[in-house]
Structure 1
Amino acid sequence: MSQDVRTRPTESGDRESLDGLDDLDGGGSVSATDVLDRLWRFFISMRTGLVLILGLGLMSLIGTLLVQAPAGLSADPAAYTSWVASIHSKYGGWTPVFDRLSFFAIFTSIWFKAIMVLLTTSVLACSVNRAPRLWKIAFHPRTRMGETFFSHAPLSAAVLVPAEADETMDYVREVLKSHRFRTITDPDDNGLNLYADRFRWGPFGTVVAHISFVIILVGFFLSATTGFKNTPL
Structure 2
Amino acid sequence: MVPFLRNTWRGLTSMRTALILLFLLALAALPGALLPQRTLNANKVADYIAEHGWWGRLLDRLQFFNVYASVWFSAIYILLMISLVGCLLPRTLEYARALRTKPVLTPRNLSRMPHHSESTVDKTPDEVIAQATRALSGWRKTEREEENGARTISAERGYLRETGNLVFHFAMLGLIIALAVGKLFGYEGQVIVKADGSQEFCNSGVLGYDSFQPGLRVDGTDLTPFCLKVASFDVNFLPTGQPDLFRANLEYQSEKDLDTGTWQTYGLEVNSPLRTDGDRVYLLGHGYAPVFTVTFPNGEKRTMDTQWRPVDQVTFLSEGATKFDPPGITDSEERRTKQIAVTGVFAPTAQLHGSLLNSSFPDLRDPMVAVDVMRGDLGIDNGRGQSIFTIDQSMVDDGRLKRVARENLSVGGEVKLDDGTVVRFDGVKRWVYLQVSHDPAQVWVLVFAIAIILGIGASLIIKRRRLWVRVVPAADGRTVVEVGGLARTDQAGYGEEFERLSGAVTGGKN
TM over 0.5: yes
1:127 to 88, 91, 115: 88
2:150 aligned with 1:213 = no
Q: Which has the larger radius of gyration?
A: 2
Secondary structure (helix, strand or coil) at the match of 2:31 reads helix
Distance in 2 of aligned mates of 1:142 and 1:91: 67
The residue type paired with residue 172 of structure 1 is A
| CA shift for structure 1 position 35 | 5.0
- Compared with structure 1, are the counterparts of its residues 67 and 141 closer, same or farther at alpha carbon in structure 2 (3 Å cutoff)? farther
The answer for the alignment partner of 2:134 in structure 1 is 174
The alignment's C-alpha RMSD in Å is: 2.8
- Compared with structure 1, are the counterparts of its residues 50 and 140 closer, same or farther at alpha carbon in structure 2 (3 Å cutoff)? same
Please give the per-residue CA displacement for 1:117-176, whole angstroms capped at 9, x wherever unaligned: 11111111111111222123222144214346751x4x3112213133332222112012
2:27 aligned with 1:58 = yes
Distance in 2 of aligned mates of 1:149 and 1:114: 53
Secondary structure (helix, strand or coil) at the match of 1:218 reads helix
Distance in 1 of aligned mates of 2:17 and 2:29: 18
The answer for the alignment partner of 1:100 in structure 2 is 61
The answer for the alignment partner of 1:69 in structure 2 is 38
How many residue pairs were aligned? 190
Structure 1: runs of 5 or more not aligned: 1-29, 74-79
Distance in 2 of aligned mates of 1:103 and 1:187: 69
On the 8 A contact 1:108/1:225 being kept in 2, the answer is no
- Compared with structure 1, are the counterparts of its residues 59 and 166 closer, same or farther at alpha carbon in structure 2 (3 Å cutoff)? same
The answer for the alignment partner of 2:78 in structure 1 is 117
On the 8 A contact 2:142/2:155 being kept in 1, the answer is yes
On the 8 A contact 2:143/2:152 being kept in 1, the answer is yes
TM-score (ref. length: structure 2): 0.34
Distance in 2 of aligned mates of 1:94 and 1:120: 32
Structure 2: runs of 5 or more not aligned: 190-204, 208-510
**Paired residues for 1:11-50 under 5 Å:** 30-31=1-2, 34=3, 36-50=5-19
- Compared with structure 1, are the counterparts of its residues 100 and 215 closer, same or farther at alpha carbon in structure 2 (3 Å cutoff)? same
2:101 aligned with 1:140 = yes
Between Structure 1 and Structure 2, the one with more helix by share is 1
1:196 to 116, 137, 155: 155
Secondary structure (helix, strand or coil) at the match of 2:117 reads coil
2:133 aligned with 1:164 = no
Distance in 2 of aligned mates of 1:114 and 1:221: 13
- Compared with structure 1, are the counterparts of its residues 62 and 112 closer, same or farther at alpha carbon in structure 2 (3 Å cutoff)? same
On the 8 A contact 2:13/2:87 being kept in 1, the answer is yes
Moved more, 92-101 or 203-212: 92-101
Distance in 2 of aligned mates of 1:217 and 1:41: 22
The residue type paired with residue 116 of structure 2 is A
Please give the per-residue CA displacement for 1:48-94, whole angstroms capped at 9, x wherever unaligned: 111111111101233223332334x7xxxxxx4x5423124776764
Identity across matched positions, percent: 25
2:186 aligned with 1:186 = no
| CA shift for structure 1 position 195 | 1.9
Distance in 2 of aligned mates of 1:170 and 1:124: 45
Distance in 2 of aligned mates of 1:166 and 1:49: 52
Between Structure 1 and Structure 2, the one with more strand by share is 2
- Compared with structure 1, are the counterparts of its residues 131 and 185 closer, same or farther at alpha carbon in structure 2 (3 Å cutoff)? same
Moved more, 108-117 or 202-211: 202-211
The answer for the alignment partner of 1:14 in structure 2 is none
